[in-house]
Amino acid sequence: MPPKTESELADRRTRYEEDLPEDRDNKVAQLLQEYSHIPADEIEPHLRSVRDRAWAIFPYTCIGAWRFLDLYVTKLPVYASVLGRLRDGGDRLLDAGCCFGYVLRQLAADGAPTSSLAGSDLEQPFIDLGYELFRDKDTFKGSFVAANMLSPDGEGREELNALDGTFDIVHAASFFHLFSWDDQVKLGERVVRFFRPADSSKKTNSGQPRLLFGRQVANIAPLTREELAARGEYRFHHNPATLQQLWDEIGDKTKTKWRVEAELVPETGRGRREPAADGTGKEPHKFQLWFAIYQEE
Ligand SMILES: C[S@@+](CC[C@H](N)C(=O)[O-])C[C@H]1O[C@@H](n2cnc3c(N)ncnc32)[C@H](O)[C@@H]1O
């Protein structure tokens, strides 16, 4: 989608970084060598080629600014437990808004059975580029579904609905923050349906609580919906307290109960957006929210 105005063009420029980050030993480069067996000297052109084709599909910061390279998920406090649940506990994980599915490939490289992994994204081309990026079309046994999670009637809905009730863990990174509060409630309701239904003998295969985890852009003092509208924005960026409020609302609608554990982590690099000097303009991005949201009985 080409930019329509000068300010869209300028905004897009801040989200596209020409060169790969200095740190060439990033997690994805490591994965490409060890999991995909791509020789070291082919990695940079391979990454550039996939990144630029993905950027042409939709200019997300996670793509343009190479944010996917660090595989932040391995740094989350909950990562070891997620891996244990998948590897030894028989749990199944869905990556919602998975893009290329890099988190799924990291989990696979760390020993999670790929048949217990699935991804879902609006864009089939991101999923296809993921297979191309990791060269694992013949070995990755997990499934992918292309569908709009906010549209009950859209293309791919039957495949998406077939996933209902089949997961114990959902990962969602830089996903909920794309939407307004009301759409985040709808998305939460959709996510709750993906979880394995409560069973009298056990909560999940591993016996651990159902879990949604990930990261997203945060705001220490979230703006009200009116303040967002005044800035020409609608996306609601949470702090830990508003994220709990959101999940209380989702809980009320789905007759479930959720406990949010979340921490604010300073944003670095291209994802960081400074406040405008005159207090107007787009909402600043200075922190990420890393979260783990557990279902309570
Ligand atoms: C900002 S990217 C984040 C990708 C990845 N999770 C990450 O952390 O880098 C958001 C992803 O959500 C997908 N997406 C956006 N709207 C969606 C929707 N309504 N249903 C399903 N996926 C959607 C996009 O195609 C994109 O891959």
Per-residue pLDDT tens for 115-130?
A: 999 999 999 999 999 9
- Lookup: tokens for 181: 């509060």
**Which tens digits make up the pLDDT trace of 168-183?**
999 999 999 999 999 9
- The model scores a pTM over 0.85: yes
DSSP code string of the chain: ----SHHHHHHHHHT--SSPPS-TT-HHHHHHHHTS---HHHHHHHHHHHHHHHHHH---HHHHT-GGGG-GGGGSTTHHHHHHHHHHS---EEEET-TTTHHHHHHHHTT--GGGEEEEES-HHHHHHHHHHHT-TTT---EEEE--TT-TTSTTHHHHHTTTT-BSEEE-SS-GGGS-HHHHHHHHHHHHHHBPPP-SS-SSTTSSPPEEEEEEEE-SSPPPHHHHHHTT-----B-HHHHHHHHHHHHHHHT-EEEEEEEEEE--GGG-BPPPTTS-SSPPB-EEEEEEEEEE-
CA–centroid distance, residue 278 to ligand 1 (Å): 32
C-alpha 237/C-alpha 262 separation (Å) is: 13
The sign of the dihedral angle between the CA atoms of 29, 13, 147, 292 is positive
Task: Read off the pLDDT of each residue in 284-293 and give the average, rounded to a whole number.
Answer: 89
C-alpha 42/C-alpha 247 separation (Å) is: 44
Atom 19 in ligand 1: residue holding the nearest Cα = 148
Per-residue model confidence (pLDDT) at position 271: 58
Q: Which amino acid is at 250?
A: I
277: alpha, beta or left? (left if phi > 0; alpha if psi -120 to 50): alpha
CA–centroid distance, residue 173 to ligand 1 (Å): 8
Identify the residues whose C-beta falls under 6 Å from ligand 1.
60, 62, 68, 97-99, 121-123, 126, 148-150, 173-175, 178
Per-residue model confidence (pLDDT) at position 207: 85
Of the candidate CATH numbers 1.10.540.10, 3.30.70.120, 3.40.30.10, 3.40.50.150, the domain formed by 73-296 belongs to: 3.40.50.150
**Which tens digits make up the pLDDT trace of 55-98?**
999 999 889 989 888 889 999 999 999 999 999 999 999 999 99
Per-residue model confidence (pLDDT) at position 181: 95
Per-residue model confidence (pLDDT) at position 172: 98
**Which tens digits make up the pLDDT trace of 7-30?**
666 667 678 989 988 776 688 999
CA–centroid distance, residue 55 to ligand 1 (Å): 13
Which residue matches tokens 């292309």?
146
C-alpha 134/C-alpha 132 separation (Å) is: 6
Q: What is the 3-state secondary structure (H, E, C) of 45-103?
A: HHHHHHHHHHHHHCCCHHHHCCHHHHCHHHHCCCHHHHHHHHHHCCCCEEEECCCCCHH
Check if the beta carbon of residue 156 is closer than 8 Å to that of residue 148. yes
**Which tens digits make up the pLDDT trace of 226-275?**
888 888 888 999 999 999 999 999 999 999 999 999 999 987 765 566 66
pLDDT band at 200; cut points 50, 70, 90: very low
Ligand 1 pocket check: which of 93, 100, 122, 155 to mutate, most ligand atoms within 8 Å of Cβ?
122
Per-residue model confidence (pLDDT) at position 229: 85
C-alpha 140/C-alpha 82 separation (Å) is: 19
Q: What atom in ligand 1 is closest to the CA of residue 121?
A: 22
